[in-house]
Amino acid sequence: MKKVVLILLMVGVLLSPGGCAEPSANGEDAASGETLRSEKERITAPEVDESDLATLVEGNNSFALDLYRALRETDRNLFYSPYSISLALGMVHAGARGETEQQMADTLRFGLPPRRLHPAFNSLDIELATRGEGAEGKDGEGFRLNIVNAIWGQEGYGFLAAFLDLLAENYGAGLRVLDFASAPEASRVTINNWVSEHTEGRIEDLIPPGLISEITRTVITNAIYFNAAWQHQFNERATSDGTFYLLDGGEVTARMMNRTAPFGYAEGDSYQAVELPYDGGELSMLVLLPRPGEFEAFESSLDAQRVKDIAESLEARRVVLTMPRFGFQSSYRLAEVLGAMGMPIAFSADADFSGMTGKRELFISEVLHKAFVSVDEAGTEAAASTAVIMPGGIEDDTSSVVVTLERPFVFVIRDIKTGTILFVGRLVSPGE
């Protein structure tokens, strides 16, 4: 059977605390490429039960920590956007059928049937779009949490109207026509420029030369951009050199920030946890610091339920916090990882994505993910992108808790109200 190429691209960007862009009908925005509208407009008030929204978030967060466990078999820093991956693969899942669809649902922890899954994604996106009104960004401008989607398709290729309608109604994704067959390199540049535009230049040249070819037929893109300031900013004059202890027993010198403020705090036999809210108090960074000598055991036990339990156990305390400034970039090839996690058929010639075109001619050959994070006194800046290539206020407390992040730790960036995990990371070496 002849197979053709589809590339799915997912991009997530986080910049320390700002406001969330309103979802645009059919993904309309300033990007090159003629846009063909579905006759359907985006549903801006989806009728979704709260239980469905909770099920979606729970499943997405479970996948986020499943992927963490799969990626942690390394001694390096980690950072990625599980929400971006879930959202973009959710769009691909809309075109999957049969066992391909079921394996994707199981691996991605989609606990809802398709007729409820995609409206739930839409509802969550609209909920997140309300965040950050009046809040500040790390760069002194307004808070931003922007999420946009688009479909890039070969001119004249036979996409099913039902598939395009579903993505238009639930993901605001309009079909942008490119000529992969005659101009693959120009098409690659166009998509990379769209990525750069929607990540404020933080992700450049996501798709390297050669990954879009004459047989590429569609690229599905998602971009997330987040820019937010800390609610309790660090004073740069309080930052000084300090020691950070590595997993192998070595040590490095790092610029350590210091802040005493009311934070959410929890502790257990094997960890301390502190929550750093962003301006506006709607999103936060939850830092999980294993006790000395407990890092590997704590990582092994970490799943979505434990993160949820820790978050729910947080209590307002006066915390004397020391943490390093850090910034790094991570890159991953996820095809083998996702296949091993439970969706191998999607990566084989037996894949069934006939819900996109009516034909079984598409399969996934590679999933690429690249992410960047930078944390300093003002807030957090981060970016992440993924390409899936398919051939074919508190009471005063006089006691203080001391939290010194002088050894490896795990962190998640999450929406407080829904509990949605947007980014997951770990720092094992601030100088990496």
Per-residue pLDDT tens for 306-324?
A: 999 999 999 999 999 999 9
d(CA 29, CA 18) in angstroms, rounded, equals 20
pTM: 0.87
pLDDT at 330 over 90: no
* Domain residue extents for the chain: 5-230+327-390, 236-324+395-427
For domain 236-324+395-427, the CATH architecture is Roll (2.30)
d(CA 256, CA 259) in angstroms, rounded, equals 10
pLDDT at 302 over 80: yes
Q: Please name every residue paired with 316 in a beta bridge, in sequence order, or none if there are none.
A: 264
User: Does CATH number 3.30.497.10 belong to domain 5-230+327-390?
Assistant: yes
Question: Tokens 């079909």 appear where?
Answer: 175
pLDDT at 76 over 70: yes
The CA angle 35-39-42, to the nearest 5 degrees, is 85
pLDDT given for residue 117 in this prediction: 98
Q: How far apart are the first and last CA of the chain?
A: 46
Question: For residue range 147-194, what is the model confidence (pLDDT) as tens digits?
Answer: 888 888 888 888 899 999 999 999 998 888 989 889 999 998 998 898
* Average confidence (pLDDT) over 128-133: 93
Question: For residue range 27-39, what is the model confidence (pLDDT) as tens digits?
Answer: 443 334 566 657 7
